[in-house]
Structure 1
Amino acid sequence: MSRAAVVRGLGAVVPPDAVTNAMLAERMDTSDEWIRTRTGIGQRHVVAPGVATSDLAVDAGSRALKAADVDHVDLVVVATTTPDHPCPATAPSVAARLGLGHVPAYDLAAVCTGFVYALASGAGAVASGLAKSVLVIGAETYSSILDPTDRTTSVIFGDGAGAVVLGAGEHDEPGALLEFDLGSDGTLADVIMIPGGGSRQRSGGVPADPADVYFRMDGKRVFRAAVQRMAGSARVVLDRAGWRVDDVDRFVGHQANVRILRAVAEELGLAPDRLVVNLDKVGNTSAASIPLALADAAQRDELSSGDRVVLSAFGGGVTWGACALVWPDIAVF
């Protein structure tokens, strides 16, 4: 039997500057009530000028390494939609700044499903023997790609980073990543997109419209697809793990919208008190949202060693994925 990838440590960080709903209402046609009613978000954090995704990734990665009590890993995977540059990848820079030497490092782009995809990638590296330990980071600076005048996106997204260290272990020990389900549907690529800046636009020989450099989302279509795919993917990993819905102690869904999370719970028949929710404090942080939610729940004693946990996410591409694990007794920084 192949080795299991086991969660050994968790680190998370958000920028110090918080933007409240009231602050947004001062510069656009919105209100605290409008935002909370539709999203459940009360504030989000944004980076200061000059701070990039790699800066958050290094901070979260350093915390995860400290939590795991290690100073070296064999592989670094950074899930992000907002890399420091279109080229090269951000992960090698992160690895170098963390003092990890010449380890392999790469970015993974699956938008809000990025962290689950990156976990699966790291778990595969451990199972195959390619690596004995992996640093998996989800990091985003969405404030750099949002149209500040668009209330459909600017009120939702925030910046942050979360990371875990995976180590080789046994399948029956707490923290082992037990089951995964991943999927995509490229026919829905247009529901979450930055139209300009890529080879599709550039090869057409037409300059990008200034508005096309910003993130766009069709909220209604995303809502329907997210509920269906997050619930469906969760069912798959429950079945593969041999768990019933009632066996789940904590469901940690991508923190996109509180109505999506509640709808997923209803679709699964999961008690609402099993949901982990922290988007009210940090907003939607895309690939960083699940590790940030895990860290927040652990630090508030809402996640305990031995809890049966299901992670589930939906993002652009479109992509989706889920993972099942039993939560370990680990440090969180």
Structure 2
Amino acid sequence: MNLRFDRVCLHAFGHALPPVELSSAAIEERLGPLYERLKLPAGRLELMTGIGSRRLWPPGTRPSDGAAAAGAAAIAHSGIDPRALECLLFTSVSRDMMEPATAAFVHRTLKLPPSCLLFDISNACLGFLDGMVMLANMLELGQVRAGLLVAGETAEDLIASTLQHLLADTTLTRKTIKPLFASLTIGSGAVALVMTRSDYLDTGHYLRGGACRANTAHNDLCQGGQNAEQGTLMSTDSEQLLGKGIETAAACWTAFRENLGWELNAIDRFFCHQVGKAHAQMLFETLRLDPAKNFETLPTLGNVGSVSAPITMALGIEQGALVPGQRAAILGIGSGINALMLGIDW
């Protein structure tokens, strides 16, 4: 797939950070009986993942609530009249319900115009980046002049169900708890982005293109869902997912650089989907990336699903890690396995 854009501007990000902070130490405290039974050392979770804490929403918060809050912030930062937005895409793993589309609830909350095209995109942790591509295509073709992407992830049910299962199942061993422990790295959050066509509103921040790669022979390495008895659970073969994910990312990175013609040393900043410190280290080594050019939020936010890479970029811009005139790459890897990498001239 040839991802090249000439008329697409990134305008303004918005984000919403949940108010509840849950530390890895607090999770281990809740898992005290399991740790004692299996003789697991305290501090194991943070040591293995590099995640000190993650954020959670108050009870009753729906994915559309966080997404709408982030969307309102993005619109305010952009200065664009909400009535000028012609497309709204909701891109999270989490959703309010099966039907209608969660985008419909965000649309109503933000009071966007009835002429605004809206729908959901779902592709595990790559949803937001896929949304950037879909909206960019419409902007490039001139079908819309301005649009909004939103994502709101809610990890509360997953963490609660995982903790309950780990404590209730006394047959679990050090080996059989591994597929469940990856769920404890997940956090909540929301992010949004206004994008425009350059001849409508030129921000000077351009989405240039990118590349994607699929490796679906390994779509069984991370799977999750809900059931009435156990709630939301996810099973992850972390070691295999790490290896196959990096393999897919390497192929995508080669295609990304060939498609855009970008030399490695010409990229000033990287914003990555964040899984854990072992993943980041292997990714940088394999792709020959300078860790000093990476901006991360992993220690304080954990893995925020589809929100992870874009909120990291949003916070990086907010904190001055990416400034006008610099070049950035946003690197996405998701279960499936899929990789999508996008290049931005900021």
Q: Please report the TM-score for the alignment, with normalisation by the length of structure 2.
A: 0.85
Aligned mates of 1:313, 1:250 — CA distance in 2: 14
Residue type matched to 1:37 in 2?
L
Aligned mates of 2:329, 2:128 — CA distance in 1: 13
1:183 deviates by 3.0
Q: Secondary structure at 1:155's aligned position in 2?
A: helix
Aligned mates of 1:314, 1:293 — CA distance in 2: 14
Given that 1:3 and 1:126 are in contact with CA atoms closer than 8 Å, whether structure 2 keeps it comes out as no
1:244 deviates by 1.0
Aligned mates of 1:324, 1:21 — CA distance in 2: 33
1:195 deviates by 5.0
- Which residue of structure 1 lines up, in the alignment, with residue 294 of structure 2? 275
Q: Secondary structure at 1:190's aligned position in 2?
A: coil
Q: 2:100 aligns with which of 88, 97, 102?
A: 88
Given that 1:53 and 1:140 are in contact with CA atoms closer than 8 Å, whether structure 2 keeps it comes out as yes
Q: Tell me whether 1:50 sits opposite 2:80 in the alignment.
A: no
- Which residue of structure 1 lines up, in the alignment, with residue 186 of structure 2? 157
Q: 1:263 aligns with which of 273, 282, 290?
A: 282
Q: How does 1:245-264 map to 2 (within 5 A)?
A: 245-264=264-283
Q: 2:336 aligns with which of 314, 317, 324?
A: 317
Deviates more, 1:150-159 or 1:277-286: 150-159
Q: 1:79 aligns with which of 91, 107, 131?
A: 91
Aligned mates of 1:259, 1:162 — CA distance in 2: 25
Aligned mates of 1:297, 1:109 — CA distance in 2: 25
Residue type matched to 2:135 in 1?
G
- Which residue of structure 2 lines up, in the alignment, with residue 200 of structure 1? none
- Which residue of structure 2 lines up, in the alignment, with residue 331 of structure 1? none
Larger Rg: 2
Residue type matched to 2:211 in 1?
D
**Structure 2 runs not aligned, ≥5 long:** 167-179
1:12 deviates by 0.9
- Which residue of structure 1 lines up, in the alignment, with residue 206 of structure 2? 176
Deviations 1:245-298 (A, max 9, x none): 111111111011122122111112111101111111111001001121012212
Aligned mates of 1:96, 1:6 — CA distance in 2: 25
Aligned mates of 1:2, 1:272 — CA distance in 2: 28
- Which residue of structure 2 lines up, in the alignment, with residue 306 of structure 1? 325
Aligned mates of 1:244, 1:308 — CA distance in 2: 11
1:32 deviates by 6.4
Q: Secondary structure at 2:220's aligned position in 1?
A: helix
Q: 1:31 to 1:139 in 2, by over 3 A?
A: farther
Q: 1:240 aligns with which of 259, 276, 282?
A: 259
1:101 deviates by 2.4
Deviations 1:113-142 (A, max 9, x none): 111111101101111222111101222112
Q: Tell me whether 1:63 sits opposite 2:63 in the alignment.
A: no
**Structure 1 runs not aligned, ≥5 long:** 198-207, 328-333
Given that 1:32 and 1:42 are in contact with CA atoms closer than 8 Å, whether structure 2 keeps it comes out as no
Given that 2:8 and 2:140 are in contact with CA atoms closer than 8 Å, whether structure 1 keeps it comes out as yes
Q: Pairwise CA RMSD of aligned residues?
A: 2.1
Deviates more, 1:53-62 or 1:63-72: 63-72
Residue type matched to 2:111 in 1?
G
Q: 1:5 to 1:27 in 2, by over 3 A?
A: same
Aligned residues: 315
Q: Secondary structure at 1:85's aligned position in 2?
A: coil
Aligned mates of 1:315, 1:253 — CA distance in 2: 11
